[in-house]
């Protein structure tokens, strides 16, 4: 693996208040950029861009630095308050009930890349306003691979800008409801084909507890089963962890081909499966590469469909 390839990740940094059947956390570390950056950092060095207020604890920045995440791109607004999201999960753990969204400094966020960030070869635009995603794309110089995430809100209110983003990225991460909303197609294979027509070569369809499907051009390239867990503690950040693991692995591989992108899907699923086993970043703080590789091998065993002969 090539550890020199940086992944540039731009997105939200937040405090999350989350309640699930397993318990509750108040103002825990969260945000799309944080989850994806930490997941990616297990495979490749990361450059992170976001914004926080001066209420953001130094211990959180120290944790990110301990993961070898370059945080020079995190803007600290003096006198400002960090983005705060509150939500709960009841019954269907795939769907959060949003209780509060306080944008604070995130409302006026304008991503500014430190000079050397612009040369990053692998770029992931986490779930933020597509106008901001375009602003980042205008700043980077000839990346090898660009990817984006999005959500139903941007499809509803910023569709034109989102389409412009999709014209300029190689990969889009999107869930099944969002794919249907964006394209008007109920059938997911047709929806993926419509998205390919806009621009992305690869469409990664996130299906939560049901795994992920990778569409290449107009065909289904690969489907990854979910990792069987006996309990999900907190699904917040699972999709971001998937995308971060995917991008981190691709950057470490240094190239995009059929084999590497399939492995990236499984590594992404592996990272998401660990993320949901505790609140916030708590499971990632204890996670090791040995554990990741072990679960990756379990994934391979689970999806292998030919009979294994006994000696």
| pLDDT attached to residue 266 | 93
Alpha carbon 138 to chain centroid distance?
21
Inform me whether the pLDDT recorded for 89 exceeds 90. yes
Give, in order, the Cα–Cα distances in Å from 199 to each of 83, 195, 221.
Answer: 32, 7, 17
- Could you give phi then psi for residue 97, rounded to 5 degrees? -100, 110
| Per-chain mean pLDDT for the chain | 92
Inform me whether the pLDDT recorded for 262 exceeds 80. yes
Q: pLDDT tens across 288-308, in order?
A: 999 999 999 998 888 766 655
CB-CB contact of 258 with 221 (8 Å): yes
- The lowest-confidence range among 99-103, 207-211, 227-231, 305-309 is 305-309
Q: pLDDT tens across 217-239, in order?
A: 756 688 887 888 988 999 999 99
Inform me whether the pLDDT recorded for 252 exceeds 50. yes
> In the predicted model, what is the mean pLDDT of residues 166-183?
96
> In the predicted model, what is the mean pLDDT of residues 235-263?
93
Query: How far is 45 from 53, CA to CA, in rounded Å?
Result: 25
With cut-offs at 50, 70 and 90, classify the pLDDT of residue 83: very high
Both tokens assigned to 21: 């059947």
With cut-offs at 50, 70 and 90, classify the pLDDT of residue 309: low
Q: pLDDT tens across 268-287, in order?
A: 999 999 999 999 999 999 99
Give, in order, the Cα–Cα distances in Å from 238 to each of 69, 227, 246, 270, 301.
Answer: 19, 13, 12, 10, 22
| pLDDT attached to residue 46 | 98
Q: Which CATH homologous superfamily contains domain 7-14+30-45+110-303? A: Ribokinase (3.40.1190.20)
| pLDDT attached to residue 306 | 61
| pLDDT attached to residue 301 | 85
Query: HSE of 252 in the Cβ direction (CA atoms, 13 Å)?
Result: 19
CB-CB contact of 82 with 42 (8 Å): no
180 exposure class (CB count in 10 Å sphere: 0-12, 13-18, 19+):
middle
What stretch of H or E contains 7?
Answer: strand 7-10
Which sequence spans correspond to the domains of the chain?
A: 7-14+30-45+110-303
- Could you give phi then psi for residue 34, rounded to 5 degrees? -70, -50
Residue 120: closest CA among 226, 19, 49: 49
Both tokens assigned to 160: 């034109």
| pLDDT attached to residue 2 | 46
| pLDDT attached to residue 224 | 83
Inform me whether the pLDDT recorded for 212 exceeds 70. yes
More confident residue, 137 or 206: 137
């Amino acid at each position: 693996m090539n550890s020199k390839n940086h992944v540039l990740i731009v997105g939200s940094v937040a405090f999350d208040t989350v309640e699930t059947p397993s318990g509750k956390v108040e103002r825990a570390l969260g945000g799309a950029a944080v989850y994806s950056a930490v997941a990616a950092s297990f495979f490749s060095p990361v450059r992170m861009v976001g914004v926080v207020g001066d209420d953001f604890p130094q211990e959180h920045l120290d944790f990110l630095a301990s993961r070898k995440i370059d945080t020079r791109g995190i803007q600290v607004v003096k006198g400002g308050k960090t983005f705060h999201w509150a939500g709960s999960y009841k019954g269907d753990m795939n769907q959060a009930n949003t209780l509060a969204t306080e944008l604070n400094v995130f409302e006026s966020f304008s991503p500014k890349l430190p000079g050397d960030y612009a040369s990053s070869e692998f770029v992931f635009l986490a779930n933020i306003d597509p106008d901001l995603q375009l602003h980042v794309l205008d700043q980077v110089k000839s990346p090898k691979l660009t990817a984006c995430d999005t959500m139903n809100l941007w499809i509803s209110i910023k569709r034109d800008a989102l389409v412009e983003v999709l014209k300029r990225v190689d990969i889009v991460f999107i869930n099944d409801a969002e794919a249907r909303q964006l394209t008007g197609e109920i059938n997911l294979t047709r929806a993926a084909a419509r998205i390919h027509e806009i621009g992305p070569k690869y469409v990664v369809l996130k299906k939560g507890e049901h795994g992920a499907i990778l569409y290449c051009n107009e065909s289904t390239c690969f489907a990854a089963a979910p990792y069987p867990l006996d309990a999900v503690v907190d699904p917040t950040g699972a999709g971001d962890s998937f995308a971060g693991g995917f991008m981190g692995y691709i950057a470490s591989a240094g190239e995009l081909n059929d084999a590497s992108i399939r492995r990236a899907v499984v590594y992404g699923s592996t990272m998401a499966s660990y993320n949901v086993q505790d609140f916030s970043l708590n499971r990632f703080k204890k996670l090791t590469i040995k554990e990741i590789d072990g679960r990756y091998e379990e994934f391979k065993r689970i999806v292998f469909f030919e009979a294994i002969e006994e000696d």
